[in-house]
Amino acid sequence: MATDLSSAVTEKAAQAAPSALPGKASPTSSPGEGRLVSLDTFRGFIMFWIIGGDALAEGLRALRPNALLNTLVYELNHTPWMGLRFYDCIWPSFMLMAGLSVPLSFAKRSRTQTYPQMLGHALQRFAVLFLLGSIRESIDFGKPYWVELSSALQPIAIASLVAFLLVRKSQRFQAAVGGSLLAAYAFILAFVSAPGVPAGSYQPMVNLVRYTDLMVLGRTYPGDPWGTVICTLPTISTTILGMLIGEWLMSARSKETKVKMIAGAGFLCLALGYGLSPIIPIIMKIWTTSYGLVTAGWACLMFLLFYWAIDVRGHRGWTLPFVVIGSNAVFIYMFSSIVPLPQWVGIFTHALVGGAGEPLVRAIIILAVEWVMLFWMYRNKIFIKA
């Protein structure tokens, strides 16, 4: 459901006064009133590429390859190891959005719930997201994978819970925690060695992240050098940055000031990340500190474009297609991961279309089915959330 920004300043003041937390307020306002439409649109835009936008680009290239489509498809695939592509920014964008939602949700719930009640909800959400992550990976690999932190849902579960525990702290304290996690992780990889792993090694099969996974889980990610256990730490920093942005948006500052603050945070992260990259390479699969900073910066700036266009300039007429997707992001993520819709649709498109145009037709049908289903849920106010 759209993110609520109504009564933000009053609610933020309530957080600072514990006696105000149980206070009552009227139910959530009608759709579109006091909403952070840019966040819902940004979430839907990012999710679009996961649920079929990448296949649509592949289909277009298969039908008529050219330099532009070749570049688009290249950007819609993960970097094999070192480097950065657009697709490598998708997961950090979700981490940022998860953090951004925490203070907004906390302020809304504080109108009707006590802190223990909100903590209970946060713990429940953590458990549900973690379990959904387990289910998704277990189905994908064909056997139980209860802990698989290289997929987005379980790190989001952990980082969101940490953000909730920090939401009543000062912004300076929150920023210090986020920065300390990044610095500590960088220090660990740079200076801690292990049997067969020299300190400062960032090779795919020889790094401390992989060694830790073998020691803690007794395994590594199947078939690809994704890290799992300790590289969850820096993901929390991106979520904390999102929480800070959410608090800035709830403040009484002008929208122009908020734009400058978000832009400043984004460019600062980019400068620090790219500045570190000659020493600490940008590697998504073990979420190096430079990768965490650079992708947090790009996520900030991408969100800023949506915020500026939609909530500052008021251009909302084009947002519905993405808002529909973003309103049920967890549902469609699980649906597209579990339901073999491409395989089912492919049965008919291979028979009826065939040739170079088949991938494009299949991608269009899949996206259409998913969007119509999500639009029906949106119109009927069916919002499935963790």
Q: What is the pLDDT along the chain (386 residues), one digit of tens a residue?
A: 345 554 444 444 344 333 332 333 333 333 334 568 999 999 999 999 999 999 999 999 999 899 999 999 999 999 999 999 999 999 999 999 999 999 999 999 999 999 999 999 999 999 999 999 999 888 888 888 888 887 789 999 999 999 999 999 999 999 999 999 999 999 999 999 999 999 999 999 999 999 999 999 888 888 889 999 999 999 999 999 999 999 999 999 999 999 999 999 999 999 999 999 999 999 999 999 999 999 999 999 999 999 999 999 999 999 999 999 999 999 999 999 899 999 999 999 999 888 889 999 999 999 999 999 999 999 999 998 77
Contact predicate 366/108, CB 8 Å: no
The answer to whether the predicted template modeling score (pTM) of the entire model surpasses 0.85 is yes
